Every structure is written in C-alpha cells, then in structure tokens.
Structure 1
C-alpha cells in the first residue's frame, strides 16, 4: 500500500508516481533505440529499460513509481528527466513534485483590497485574479466582459467564485467563447497541474478534479494524460458574443508571495482590429 492511500487524497509521492508512469508510458522504444525482448503488454518503456537509461537501480525506480521512495536527490531527478525526454517545464514540475520546492504559507481566502483596486485601475486591460486551483477571485469590468459577461459581476467576491477550468468544461457559454476550445482546455489542465503541484492544495484539487471527472469525460481524459505547462503567456482566440472574433495576448503574473495566486492580463495589439473590438467591448461596460 502506498503512503496515505486510505486518506482519499493522493499524497505528494503518489502525484510523483503518477507523473513518472504517465511519461514512461508515452515514450516510444523505437525512437530511443531500445530493443524489445518479447512482446510488450503495455505501451511505452518497461521500468527496467527506463531505469537503465537513467542510470538508477531498477529497485529504486520501481519504488518511486509505487510511491514508496521519498526525497530523491536532484541528480537522480535530472537523470530520470533526461531519460524521459522531459522539457524544461516538465523537468521543473518533476522536481516540484519530489519536494525540491518548499510549499509557501497559505494566504486567507479572497483577494486583498489593494489588488482589487489595481485591477479596476487598468481599464484598457482585461484583468483576472486566479487562485492556485484557478478560482476567479477577482476581475475588472473588462475582464468580466471578456470571459464571463453572462455571470453576475460580483460573483468572484462571494462564497462560490467561478472556476476557470470548470467553466471551460461545464459552462456552455464559456465553452462557446473559445475558437480553439481543445487547445484552451489542454492548457487549462496543464497549468492546473503545474501550479498546484507543490502548494499543499491537495484537498482543494481533489474536490475539483473529482467533481469535473464526474461531470466531464473530456476533463477526465485530459487529466489522466498528465499535461504540464507553465502557460505564462500566449494568445487567446475568442468568439465573443458582443464583438465577434477577438484575439487577445495574455501574460500571467505570479504574485510575489509565490503561493500560486496570479494575475491574468489580456490586451490587444495596439491599432489592430482586435484593439478596436476591445475598446468597443469596454464601452459597453460603462453602462452596466
């Protein structure tokens, strides 16, 4: 039995074990030049093959995948990351899951008053404040108009703030807002895994994942694939009910406490058609 298996909430070592298994299963033996000895019952590399590529003992690697080994050294983690062909973000995620990053102290619920004021003082930028599990705990008028004009403006500041991931999978209005929904959904799940990894949010994430896995087969499939991405910047391609096609660039700003709370800022390229559309949408918020 793995540690904490009876608690109902996966422990950090279980998250690490799941991630290792998912990445090993995704590797192609042919691409790595691994010669098969007999038929394979499952896709990907065998444990002994991965252990050999990483230069670690099969016994120790097996214990990692079973959630029985703790505190692997950074050198061992880097060797495993190279063997698994992990990218920079995935390698950092591996270290975080293994406890190489200390979880910061948890803040109280809600958004502090100074940040609420800051959001409102950015009228030309669509701004959201997100918790580690992607609850929308604050937005300015334009942020509300861009992503959730069908919801009450005060909803982020109540007892049940909207959840950005949940909206993507279960809210038809939010789903239809994205011209590239599958891409957005994958990014949302990948960011959720990356940000929540070391932050001691096991109970919150377990509730969210459990709920969404029941309500959305698409979410359950994506979560099981273990995508991981920092999602720090990029372009959102909307089909907005008020202004039509709208492409906005976004930046994710992590707050200085490094506790997983972030500001998502969206803007249009100055002078573009999208800039005109965003200004038109902003004008509609002045009468609401």
Structure 2
C-alpha cells in the first residue's frame, strides 16, 4: 500500500479540525454551523498564521513549516502527545529522506536479549513495528499461544485481530484492541513512511478487513506504552493483566511487553498456573530432545 503523504497530512488535520467545537477553542458568538468543527480561518487565527498559509498546510504541504508553527497548530487543534508527535513525524517525512541506516533493517534477535527475556518470570514478548512477534519467554509464549499458533495470524498480532475469528473470544475487549492496533500502526507509519514491509501490511489489512478500513480512515494515533489487557485464555480462563512497554535503545524497531497481575487476584493465581503449564511443556520438550539425541548416538 503506497502512502500518499499529502493526503495523509490533509486527512489528519481535517479530522482533527472537524472534531473541535467553537466553544472548546474559546470562540464566542454565533456557533451555529452547517458542518462540524472549526473553520479554516478560525484555526489560522488561533494559530497566528494567515488563512492562505494554513490552507497550504491542510492541503498536505508541510515543507518548511517550523517547529513553532507545528506546536502552535497542535495547541489550536487540542492534539494530545501522540497526535502532536505524529504531526511532527509527518512534517519530517515531508523533507528529503534521511541519510542513515533504516531503523527497520532486518536483524536476528540477539542471544543476550533472549537470555534476558527468558530470565523474566512474568509473561514477556517482543514485537516489531509491523506487529510481528520476534521473541517470547516460555510463559509469554504460553499466554499468546492462540496468536502464535493461528495460521491466519502468521505470528502477527494485527493479522490475528483482523483475520482470525478466534481473536474475538481471546480478546473480550476486541473493539478496543482493534482500535488500538490501528492507531499504533498509523503512529508507526508516520515515523517510518518508507518502511515497505509496514506499508505492505497496512495494505493487506485494508484490502481484507472492513473493520480495519473504517478505523484507518479515522486517522487516530496512539502511543502503546502501558495499560490493562483482558484475555480469555483457553487453558486458564479469564485474565486481567497490566502491561508495560519497554524500548531497546540499541534496537529501536523492537518493543518488549511485560504482563503482571494484581497481587492476590484470581488473575495472579491463573497466571501462576499458566507458568507451571509452560514449565511442564518446556521440560517435556527437553526430555524428548534428550531422548532423540541419545537414540541418535
């Protein structure tokens, strides 16, 4: 899916402008409107730029727009942190390609990081900007087994949510999960506009899923850092888990997610059971491998 950068900018700004009421923007007087949101001239006046300049920006031309103007526009449109960052990402993408190694270059998951992930006692999994799972620890793999083993997902959380019927039982809050994934993908698309694999994934999702297309058209963005995840696991039942996302400074394409349950909660007990099942499975796999090695020798 080839991204039309000017259309991305134009649609993002228009959808942000349309959602603001005059009263939210501090505009007094006759607020009766035939269309929702602020007028272009109101946005321009509140931002401190000419109507012609704002019209150029909303047509998708961010070339040469200063950081100060972008920040003023973000304040006028009441953008949150993720939306403000996205606006700056779009402005950066309007310039010439940066002369640096792409941050999405393919690379194997280092053994040192895998040992670190394996040493963590809570469920952990690592994914990239294209929602591909690149590493887990044993209990993390057990937690996300329905995602990792689903043939429609191919180890990709976005494909699982939008292509697999099983996702709606695995994620009881499916609507929120679907909306969050799309908003996160749009954030990544703004950060990495020349990532072909990411563009191809977005194109695949848009081609095959009406649910994805509707959400993509909203132009929402989100930082996926912390939150609460409800999961209905086929082996241990309902889980309510808090999660935290962590970056790898040396590997900016990867993000590690760790899951914990509230102390003394039913979810903590079920998570402990899942850990035991994962350990039994790992022990069984090692025993089988040792048996094959002995037989071969």
Using structure 1 for the length normalisation, give the TM-score.
Answer: 0.84
For 2:122 and 2:63, the matched residues in 1 are separated by 44
For 1:108 and 1:67, the matched residues in 2 are separated by 31
For 1:210 and 1:112, the matched residues in 2 are separated by 30
In the TM superposition, residue 70 of structure 1 has moved relative to its aligned partner by: 0.8
Bigger shift: residues 44-53 or 272-281? 44-53
Structure 2: which 5+ residue stretches go unaligned? 282-297
In the TM superposition, residue 45 of structure 1 has moved relative to its aligned partner by: 2.1
Kindly indicate whether residue 132 of structure 2 is the aligned counterpart of residue 135 of structure 1. Answer: yes
For 1:262 and 1:150, the matched residues in 2 are separated by 17
In structure 2, the partner of 1:263 is: 256
For 2:115 and 2:201, the matched residues in 1 are separated by 29
1:112 to 110, 113, 126: 110
Once the two structures are superposed, the pairs formed by residues 198-277 of structure 1 within 5 Å of their partners are: 198-257=191-250, 259-277=252-270
Superposition CA RMSD, Å:
2.7
Kindly indicate whether residue 53 of structure 2 is the aligned counterpart of residue 56 of structure 1. Answer: no
More helix, by proportion? 2
For 2:193 and 2:250, the matched residues in 1 are separated by 14
Pairs aligned (count): 274
Bigger shift: residues 233-242 or 202-211? 202-211
For 1:258 and 1:194, the matched residues in 2 are separated by 18
In the TM superposition, residue 262 of structure 1 has moved relative to its aligned partner by: 0.6
Kindly indicate whether residue 17 of structure 2 is the aligned counterpart of residue 19 of structure 1. Answer: no
For 2:222 and 2:251, the matched residues in 1 are separated by 17
In the TM superposition, residue 129 of structure 1 has moved relative to its aligned partner by: 1.0
For 2:161 and 2:51, the matched residues in 1 are separated by 41
Using structure 2 for the length normalisation, give the TM-score.
Answer: 0.82
Judge conservation of contact 1:196–1:260 (CA < 8 Å) in 2.
no
Q: Secondary structure at the match of 2:37?
A: coil
Once the two structures are superposed, the pairs formed by residues 152-231 of structure 1 within 5 Å of their partners are: 152=149, 162-231=155-224
1:93 to 58, 62, 86: 86
Q: CA 1:115/1:15 → structure 2, altered by over 3 Å: closer, same or farther?
A: farther
Bigger shift: residues 89-98 or 127-136? 89-98
In the TM superposition, residue 119 of structure 1 has moved relative to its aligned partner by: 1.8
Larger radius of gyration: 2
For 1:111 and 1:71, the matched residues in 2 are separated by 38
For 2:253 and 2:30, the matched residues in 1 are separated by 43
In the TM superposition, residue 38 of structure 1 has moved relative to its aligned partner by: 8.5
In the TM superposition, residue 110 of structure 1 has moved relative to its aligned partner by: 4.1
For 1:109 and 1:176, the matched residues in 2 are separated by 34
Structure 1: which 5+ residue stretches go unaligned? 1-7
